[in-house]
Amino acid sequence: MNVRKICWQDVEKEGMGKDKARKVLHTENMTIARVYLDKGSSVPEHKHENEQISWVMRGSIEVRINDRAFVLNRDESLVIPPEVPHFVLALEESEVVDSFSPPRKDWQAGQDSYLRT
């Protein structure tokens, strides 16, 4: 049993370009990230093998999937199934908690350049 207590203040904040940053925890079965977005920043359309739940802690974002736009405000979440292409736009300065299962092996391997544009 690998029980760990985590203090988010101790997790290193990683810059991803000039308008976004994240703090990430990887476990055996999932990845969780706190993502910080400046107003107007975006994450280009992408997809991954992971199921994702995005939970807006502060601010407002728009998630575009196919021809649908989902606006998420504080305390709202969106479940994104595996392999579904999606695009994110920060409508306000925002903090979003993203949970992924299985873990984001691409992030662990440094194969996440699409986030840094």
| CATH number assigned to the domain comprising residue 67 | 2.60.120.10
Q: How confident is the model at residue 2 (pLDDT cuts 50, 70, 90)?
A: confident
Q: How confident is the model at residue 116 (pLDDT cuts 50, 70, 90)?
A: confident
* pLDDT tens digits, 51-81: 999 999 999 999 999 999 999 999 999 999 9
What are the Cα distances from residue 98, in Å, to 1, 2, 38, 67, 72? 24, 22, 16, 22, 13
- Asked whether residue 4 is domain-assigned, the answer is no
- Asked whether residue 5 is domain-assigned, the answer is no
3-state secondary structure 15-72: ECCCCEEEEEEECCCCEEEEEEECCCCEEEEECCCCEEEEEEEECEEEEEECCEEEEE
Asked whether the predicted pLDDT for residue 117 surpasses 80, the reply is no
* pLDDT tens digits, 81-91: 999 999 999 99
- Asked whether residue 32 is domain-assigned, the answer is yes
At 46 the pLDDT is 96
- Asked whether residue 77 is domain-assigned, the answer is yes
Range of the domain at 29: 12-116
- Asked whether residue 51 is domain-assigned, the answer is yes
